[in-house]
Amino acid sequence: MNAAALEKAIQTVIVGNAAEIRALVVAFIGGLHVLVEDIPGVGKTTLARAFARASGLDFGRIQFTPDLLPGDITGMNIWSPDTREFSFRAGSVMHQFILADEINRASARTQSALLEAMQEGSVTVDGVTRQLPDPFFVMATQNPIQFTGTFLLPEGQLDRFGVGLHPGYPSVADEAAILSRFRHADPLGSLKPVMNVDELRDARRAVHSTRMDRRVEEYIARFAALTRTNESLRLGLSPRGSMHLMRAAQGYARLDSRDYVVPEDVQEALTFVVPHKIVLSEQARLRGLTPHEAARSILDNLPVPSRLSD
């Protein structure tokens, strides 16, 4: 599996954020879409471009703006005066690797154009369904909702992103390293693919076949059930969220060269899989609680399975 090489390749461009890069690779080999949220200028788009180039996939970038239409994404039927018939013009989503840049600057109607693509791997235009390329991977960036010109992503769309990242500001040492690395040239220019489509398909098959003891499955299921009854949460983890947590745990196991999942994989995956999928109650928000703290508190109070059969 070339996942480790992919991780190292991205780190030749991106300074710091090792845990976020690792989670991104886990999502990629696990078939999970990724949402990166942070303020402008912290490297969200650079991270996506570096990842796309190293992945070796066919790449397409969609810049979301208020005037972007659903048909620009899915494609549309265009009337041709010469042939006197409609012909389909493919939309910008017809690529293996999609960067949906600043996704929450577009209206909810346009955002929803990605829903079927992300969930079903297809788009439907005028009643005709067309399959998207395989593999298909979406990496979206968004600005904080407090910023001017942004629209709130609905919970249903947030739930389709398996992994959520928040890179944040770099440390002083990391920022100095960034300035040094980009002083003379953009390191993206020399970045080469370290994976191809066949290798990605093999990696995804390996992740899906990673063994998981029944007690680890129950560990995830009990955690999900507790999020749905916890007083600090207005919206708990969905069954789809549980599956994303399982798949990410399998991905972490494979990155650690194991063909079986341990509870520590679930604990590591929680940081990036769960917080954007749950919603705090008003009382919890007033107390200053974060979704990550709420989720971690629930998991920390669950008995950890031991003596697993691999």
Q: Is 128 helix (H, G, I), strand (E, B) or coil?
A: strand
Retrieve residue 144's tokens.
């904080």
Q: Would you say 133 and 98 are in contact if contact means Cβ atoms under 8 Å apart?
A: no
Which of 73-87, 114-128, 294-308 is modeled with the greatest confidence?
294-308
Residues 194-203: pLDDT tens digits? 998 999 999 9
Q: Is 95 helix (H, G, I), strand (E, B) or coil?
A: coil
Residue where the block lists tokens 């590591």: 268
Residues 126-184: pLDDT tens digits? 788 888 888 999 999 887 766 666 777 878 888 999 999 988 888 899 999 999 988 88
Domains of the chain: 3-182+194-199 (3.40.50.300), 209-300 (1.10.8.80)
What residues pair up with 123 in beta bridges, in sequence order? 130
Provide the whole-model pTM: 0.90
Half-sphere exposure of 182 (CA within 13 A, CB side): 13
Q: Would you say 121 and 75 are in contact if contact means Cβ atoms under 8 Å apart?
A: no
Question: Which residue would you say has higher pLDDT here, 111 or 253?
Answer: 253
Residues 213-255: pLDDT tens digits? 999 999 999 999 999 999 999 999 999 999 999 999 999 999 9
Closest to 143 (Cα-Cα) out of 35, 49, 302: 35
What CA dihedral angle connects 155, 105, 11 and 5, to 10 degrees?
60
Retrieve residue 162's tokens.
């398996």
Residue 213: exposure state from Cβ atoms within 10 A (0-12, 13-18, ≥19): middle
Residues 266-309: pLDDT tens digits? 999 999 999 999 999 999 999 999 999 999 999 999 999 877 75
